[in-house]
A and B are shown apart, each in its own frame.
Chain A
Amino acid sequence: MYSQKKLIVSHAPFIHEGSRVPNRNYHIILAALPAVLMGFYHFGLPAVGVVALSVSSAMLWELLANVLRKKEKHTIGDGNAAIIGLLFAMLLPATIPWWFIIVGTFFAVMVGQQAFGGIGHNPFNPVVFAALVLFVSYRNYFDFNVALVNYDFEFAAIYPLTALKTYGVSGVEGFSTMDLLMGNQTGGIGATFGLGIILGGIYLIIRGFIRWEISLSFLAGIFITAAIFNFANPDQYAGPMFHLVTGYTLLGAFFLATEDSSSPVNFNSMLIYGAVGGFMTILIRNIGAYADGVLFAIVLINLLAPIFEKIRPKALGKVD
């Protein structure tokens, strides 16, 4: 027998379409940039500082987790921790203290994701989880009216959802949907520029990096529920358009509820997941104690996701 060449032996299939986890993550970061840049424009250098610290601390926490779990290949370059840091910063007011960010990214990366086993294993969106923990513990820091009091904006410097909660519909009559959409409102660093978030979201949907079913059903849930409330009592409850472009609605629909690990993948399950999220958001905003309900609603649907996922289509040839 002549000299044996060693061939690579592996299992079918022998081709791959080429998409990878880091690739998806970088596109999500890219899609978030328009909203973040608008945040920099409105809130200035402090916003840049918050984003930088948040992204870097999230990545360092992930590095620490890699070291603690003795991973051979470190994952801080894959964009996963960077997304967590970026999205977390987008929820915050630009004046948030530095320690708050570090604690927040700790909760997001170490508790929200690594404690459950790392990427792919987190039952909750780690960003939402961390933001909610801190929101419940330090609510005052999320009070955008207090946090942003020293800014001199060209627009009404009152957080629209607080205005609504405090004064009812008459308190928000001054806001035009167009203004709100263009980012002329106070709020989280990356949460105010609705148009930018929508464009980013559409990009992700077209590229197939997020699931449109979730985004659209979430928005539909908000729209329909808000419309019903508004119809029942237009003086007390704001219209659906207002709810769509304020608070964390758009960020939730395109960047938070769509997180892979904590959301379902079946068509019907996704629709229910999103719709319940939208419905709960409005319920909390309109009759709950909090100004915004997006974070609570998303944690709730994350929790319910495994149950929604039980509604699954019948497999080929399945005999029951």
Chain B
Amino acid sequence: MIKKSFIGLVKPRIDYTILTDPDPALIDIPQPGRVTLLLEGNGNGELKKGDLLKTGQLISTAKDIFAISPVTGTVENISGWAGDFGQGYTAVSIDVAKDEEFDEQFSEVVKNISLENAVKYFSNLPGKPSFKKFKDPELDIHTIVVNGMDEDIWMTANQYVVQSRVKAIKSGMEALSKITGVNSIVLVVPESQAAAAAAAGVDVKVVSSQYPSAQPKMILKDLFGKVVPAGRNPENIGYCFMSAEAVASISDAVSTGKAPTKKVLTLINKDGGMIIVTAKIGTPVSDVFKACDINVEEKDRVVYGGPFTGSAIYSMEHPILPDTNALLVQDRENIPLVSDYPCVNCGECVRICPAIIQVHSLARLLEAGQYEEAADNYDLNSCIECGLCSFVCVSKIPIFQYIRLAKYELDRIRLAEAEYV
């Protein structure tokens, strides 16, 4: 665990874990007996219990909600699932058959895939390449940034893909350009990968290893000199981000005609040890832990994603998602406890915030539930959600939780208002 250094005068510098091992250990998780897909929204569309699915077969549970089956098997159950803040999901469980059959329609479609079909067929490939933004008439995407860094510290899944599959990334970038018509595609990598990536003949930019430099808005600011206005996203100024793994998946799908279904992720064990793991999308986490000999006990914590931005799960049945880049297991002994101090105005949060927000004032407002005021006058919307403020807060105020909750609530209010009008 990272601890404050003796010299507290300089603000703490947190670095991403940089993959240095040219041939890191890799564990391939065996095919699970059952996989679960999580699709947004509620409903099951045409899909029924007992349906037979082939690997790569398109399913849809609601209008504009698509996924492909990562396995061959039978739909065993379709049920509701609640997200972090209570958003609705539909969980589709599929019992895996012994023999794998690949869907012909998938191979047919990807031969010369249109944007329309990319939106549907690629939406839950490993790395989660989303093409929706390219169809939005209000957005004018002129540059695609392929992120070869991972979104949080202690994880190296995307770096591993860049290191081991730079050729696939290059051909994926070409496919991407063909599908979207966007010609400017840039690969962002850490220093250690820069030479190899450049040698492969792609446009490369090098990102600093200091957290949170690899966060999309920071990349735009530092490497492209573009600042995303508060409350907007990179797409709004014409930049679309995609993970390196997503781009490699596109290449795999297009070049083989078969749907790639294995997710690369970093497994961070209780002792901080990291291993790279590949698992079928939809594999229950319990299977992953079993295969890696990791014991998760009562009151331990399992996190999807990294230590700064991930989210804790409550069930060992939770499936590996197309964008699960890391699994973090924390021993119950090492879970930092909350404290019940109010803000003492030490200013640590203000000094560390990369978005230059008056976090202490913001936290006080959010604590009082004044979300609108926080958004209007205290830069809630400038927050890039790095979690550093909570990390340094001496009073251990869950500032970051307040921030995410406030943003979620404000979005809901806005949506409700928009519908009402």
Q: CB within 8 Å of B: which residues of A?
A: 1, 4-21, 23-24, 73, 117-121, 205-209, 211-212, 260-263, 265-266, 312-319
Contacts and interface: CB of A to CB of B under 8 A. Distances in A.
B308 interface: yes
A120 B344 contact: yes
Instruction: Sort A-B residue pairs by CB-CB distance and give the 3 closest, nearest first.
Output: A208-B8, A265-B347, A315-B379
Given A6-B298, A316-B356, A120 B308 contact: no
A208 B7 contact: yes
B29 to A, nearest CB: 18
A24 B341 CA distance: 13
Interface of B: 1-4, 6-10, 12, 217, 221, 227-232, 296-303, 305, 307-317, 328, 330, 332, 335-336, 339-348, 350-351, 354-358, 360, 379, 381-382, 384, 387-388, 390-396, 398, 400-401, 404
Contact of A11 (B4, B317, B401): B401
A1 B217 CA distance: 42
Contacts of B317: 1
Contacts of A207: 6-9
Nearest to B379: A315
A120 B345 contact: yes
Given A13-B387, A119-B344, A266 B314 contact: no
Contacts of A316: 217, 221, 227, 230, 354-357, 382, 384
A7 B296 contact: yes
B93 to A, nearest CB: 11
Contact of B344 (A73, A261, A312, A314): A261
Contacts of B393: 16
B316 A211 contact: no
A16 B8 contact: no
Given A4-B316, A7-B298, A12-B310, 4 more contacts: A17-B4, A18-B1, A265-B350, A316-B357
A179 B341 CA distance: 43
A211 B344 CA distance: 14
Contacts of B381: 317
B187 to A, nearest CB: 24
B171 to A, nearest CB: 35
Contact of A18 (B3, B301, B314, B354): B3
A7 B313 contact: yes
Given A20-B394, A317-B227, A4 B315 contact: yes
B230 A11 contact: no
A6 B299 contact: yes
A303 B354 CA distance: 29
8 contacts: A9-B301, A9-B312, A207-B7, A260-B346, A260-B347, A265-B350, A266-B350, A317-B230
A15 B382 contact: no
Contacts of B384: 316
Given A15-B307, A24-B346, A208-B9, A73 B312 contact: no
A207 B296 CA distance: 37
A117 B12 CA distance: 31
Contact of B8 (A1, A206, A266, A317): A206
Contact of A14 (B3, B4, B330, B392): B330
Given A14-B328, A206-B9, A265-B360, A8 B299 contact: yes
Contacts of B392: 17, 19
Contacts of B350: 265-266
A318 B9 contact: no
Nearest to B297: A5
Contact of B336 (A16, A119, A120, A263): A16
A212 B228 CA distance: 33
Given A4-B315, A207-B9, A319-B230, A15 B2 contact: yes
Q: Which residue, of B232, B379, B384, has the highest number of chain A Cβ atoms within 10 A?
A: B379
Nearest to B387: A13
A262 B358 CA distance: 16
Given A24-B346, A121-B342, A5 B328 contact: no
Nearest to A313: B356
A21 B230 contact: no
Contacts of A121: 342
A317 B314 contact: no
Contact of B310 (A5, A14, A212, A315): A14
B178 to A, nearest CB: 32
Contacts of B232: 317
Given A11-B398, A14-B303, A21 B344 contact: yes
Nearest to A11: B401
B227 to A, nearest CB: 5
B110 to A, nearest CB: 36
Contact of B395 (A21, A209, A315): A21
Contact of A12 (B12, B297, B302, B309): B309
Q: Which residue, of B231, B336, B404, has the highest number of chain A Cβ atoms within 10 A?
A: B336
Contacts of A209: 8
A120 B297 contact: no
Contacts of A23: 394
